[in-house]
Amino acid sequence: SSSGNGSANFRRKPVIIIVVGMAGSGKTTLLHRLVCHTHLKNIRGYVVNLDPAVMTLPYAANIDVRDTVKYKEVMKQFNLGPNGGILTSLNLFATKFDEVISVIERRADQLDYVLVDTPGQIEIFTWSASGAIITEAFASTFPTVVTYVVDTPRSEDPTTFMSNMLYACSILYKTRLPLILTFNKVDVAAHQFALEWMEDFEVFQAAASSDRSYSSSLTQSLSLVLDEFYNNLKSVGVSAVSGAGIDAFFKAVEASAEEYMENY
């Protein structure tokens, strides 16, 4: 346990925060909000962009995949479509990832957090060799946590909510790193319903039972399985746009980083 060591000791290395989530869930906007927060609170942050295809970023990245790999040229060179281009670009970048780790290691004493943005399409990072290589490179060097960003207004439908939770669950089992569920866009829809569904699967089942389709009965069975998953999670509600919940987000990161220190 880290009790008694104090935060100064704990902070010998930056904590890596890998931000994943479905396209449009608000990863990039959240990164921007987190960067603003670090400036306001005098937290020392560093930002890594791993999305090769993003046109413009609202924040200034310290390390940007686009500086090393030009995804449009990769598409032409290897005769690929957009997804293949993004995937291959990330693969090329992953082969040099030890250099990224070295850069961060050299600055480790001056950093509290490293914020990592990932490609818009989630599977490009979560189901690729490069995503696994990059995650492993971080996690073997620094305390690393993953946050799965949920589009809260789009998850009010029980079946969509369930799909999202299954995806988050697969990420937990794949990375085996502390996972924080970040319910984003609470300025549009409060995430209270999600907390209630996670707290008590009967409440979720009641919501799902209005739909008598096959997928609904499957949904009901899966909710029992997910009950165990929820017990191993932290969840916070935030708005990347308004800034609501960002303090709670960093608290969850701190708790997850301690969990990492104790278990990995």
* Rounded-to-integer distance, Cα 15 and Cα 180, Å: 14
Tokens 């990245």 belong to 61
21 binds ligand GDP (CB under 6 A): yes
* Residue nearer to Mg ion on the CB measure, 149 or 165: 149
Q: Write out the two tokens for 116.
A: 């990592």
Task: Answer for the pair 125, 90: CB distance below 8 angstroms, yes or no.
Answer: yes
Interface segment toward ligand GDP; rule CB under 6 A; list 7-15, 22-30, 87-95, 209-217: 22-30
182 binds ligand GDP (CB under 6 A): no
* Rounded-to-integer distance, Cα 158 and Cα 217, Å: 12
* Residue nearer to ligand GDP on the CB measure, 169 or 240: 240
49 binds ligand GDP (CB under 6 A): no
Question: Using CB distances below 5 to 8 A depending on partner kind, what does residue 158 bind out of Mg ion, ligand GDP, none?
Answer: none
82 binds ligand GDP (CB under 6 A): no
Cβ 153 to ligand GDP shortest distance, Å: 8
* Rounded-to-integer distance, Cα 243 and Cα 259, Å: 26
Helical axes 192-199 vs 201-208, angle rounded to 10°: 110
Cβ 238 to ligand GDP shortest distance, Å: 7
Residue ranges in contact with Mg ion by CB under 5 A: 27-28, 120
Q: Which of 24, 60, 96, 200 binds ligand GDP (CB under 6 A)?
A: 24
* Rounded-to-integer distance, Cα 153 and Cα 164, Å: 12
Q: Which of 191, 249, 240 is nearest to 28 (CA)?
A: 240
Question: Using CB distances below 5 to 8 A depending on partner kind, what does residue 23 bind out of ligand GDP, Mg ion, none?
Answer: ligand GDP
Phi, psi of 47 (to 5 degrees): -125, 130
185 binds ligand GDP (CB under 6 A): yes
Q: Which of 226, 240, 246, 257 binds ligand GDP (CB under 6 A)?
A: 240
Task: Answer for the pair 142, 164: CB distance below 8 angstroms, yes or no.
Answer: no
Cβ 219 to Mg ion shortest distance, Å: 29
237 binds ligand GDP (CB under 6 A): no
Task: Answer for the pair 69, 99: CB distance below 8 angstroms, yes or no.
Answer: no
* Rounded-to-integer distance, Cα 123 and Cα 29, Å: 19
23 binds ligand GDP (CB under 6 A): yes
Interface segment toward ligand GDP; rule CB under 6 A; list 90-98, 105-113, 180-188, 224-232: 180-188
Q: Tell me the torsion sign for CA atoms 216, 217, 218, 220.
A: positive
Question: In the complex, which residues of this chain contact ligand GDP (CB under 6 A)?
Answer: 21, 23-29, 120, 184-185, 187-188, 239-241
